[in-house]
Amino acid sequence: MINKDFFQALEEIEVSKKINADQLIETLEAALTSAYKKMYGEAKSAQVKLNPEKNTIKIYSYKTVVEEVENPDKEISLEEAQKLKQSYKIGDVVMQEENTKDFGRIAAQTAKQVVMQKLKEMERQIAVDELSEKEDELLTTIVKRIDQNVVYVQIAGSHTEGVMLEQDQIPGEKFHINDRIKVYVKKIKDSFRGVQIQVSRSNVGFLRKLFEIEVPEIENGEVVIKNIARDAGNRSKVAIMATKPHVDALGACVGNRGVRINTIMSEINGEKIDLVPYSDDPLEYIANALSPAKVLSVEINESLKSSRVIVPDDKLSLAIGKMGQNVRLAARLTGWKIDVKPESAVTNDVKEVEYELTDLDDENDDSFASFEDIADDGE
């Protein structure tokens, strides 16, 4: 059967849907074979073969040569087989081309349904493959709609929407239709409802990517971000370290007259960032993490992964932070339990404050470590 229009339509589908031609041919052969069997009987051993070069569709049946035929749909006697070709013997498979004139409207409709379903599956897989490359990336998107505090954004270069749940938004931010906003692609899922892209601005990955964009030294590896701890909309701590002696990690992240850090803070709605020098020495690292508070001494218990930190009495509230925010972020950043005591507690039995590294309730830190930054003493 020659059908030039059929194969021309396939070419158009291949181009418009960006579907691999070989995969499309395989899918169509399977679909048409299924339709043929449905029309002539599932028991038949048959296969449809497409030849785009000759614009032909051929259907072949297969029967095994046997001494005594028990299943006419799948078997042929030696006598009948040798009428077709004298060299056939028991156990050979006889392939015959079937007449396709009766492969009509009902079979074609059945094939069309199967093909359309396969095409949808292939399109979805292509979309998943293309979008999976964008996972853990920062994208500029356009707000398309807002529904009950859930923001839907258009992903550039695709027909897929990104979904930003309320917990993935920075508290205090307001969005409007057609706003251009940067988002972090947190997760891509393929479900029966299609491809779902979960995007975020509160995830620590969002902050990490902003630093990579604004600080060339991070992009080229001269400065590395060791950890991030974030309370989105309020404060973040970013632990940084230079990989080369001549590089000033703090200065690189701050930029000339603070232009780099200010650009990042502006993007995250004014959220404060403490840049914390990383150290392999846990005593020094913990002391740095409690910035902007001054630390007098740090003692650690490695087996319990806990520490006791002494601060001046007048710096206790600063070390702890509002509602325990500063010490909580420091604990998440370092991975150490931090027990903060005022200096007077060394000689006087006074109230002590202890914070532990706890599991987060949200998903902001599910695959990223915490980050610490340095703030002024006035914070």
The 3 state secondary structure assigned to 124-150 is HHHHHHHHHCCCCCEEEEEEEEEECCE
Q: Does domain 4-131 have CATH number 3.30.43.10?
A: no
Q: Matching CATH topology for 4-131 and 136-200?
A: no
Q: Residue 38: pLDDT above 80?
A: no
Provide the pLDDT for residue 354: 53
Q: How many CB atoms lie within 10 A of CB 85?
A: 9
Q: What percent of the chain has pLDDT over 70?
A: 84
Classify domain 136-200 by CATH architecture: Beta Barrel (2.40)
CA atoms of 186 and 136, how far apart (whole Å): 6
State the burial class of residue 197 (Cβ atoms within 10 Å of its Cβ: 0-12, 13-18, 19+): buried
Confidence of residue 356 (pLDDT cuts 50, 70, 90): low
CA atoms of 290 and 285, how far apart (whole Å): 9
Q: Residue 312: pLDDT above 90?
A: yes
Mean pLDDT of all residues belonging to the chain: 84
Q: Comparing 140 with 127, which gets the higher pLDDT?
A: 140
Q: Which CATH number fits domain 205-355: 1.20.120.80, 3.30.300.20, 3.90.1150.10, 3.20.20.100?
A: 3.30.300.20
The count of residues in the chain is 379
Domain positions in the chain are 4-131, 136-200, 205-355
Full-model pTM: 0.66
CA atoms of 306 and 241, how far apart (whole Å): 23
Provide the pLDDT for residue 43: 67
Q: Residue 39: pLDDT above 80?
A: no
Q: Is 4 helix (H, G, I), strand (E, B) or coil?
A: helix
Provide the pLDDT for residue 40: 75
Q: Residue 241: pLDDT above 60?
A: yes
Confidence of residue 97 (pLDDT cuts 50, 70, 90): confident
pLDDT (mean) for 301-309? 95
For the segment 175-196, what is each residue's pLDDT rounded down to a tens digit?
999 999 999 999 887 766 667 7
CA atoms of 206 and 218, how far apart (whole Å): 15
Question: Measuring CA to CA, which residue among 275, 300, 298 is closest to residue 379?
Answer: 275
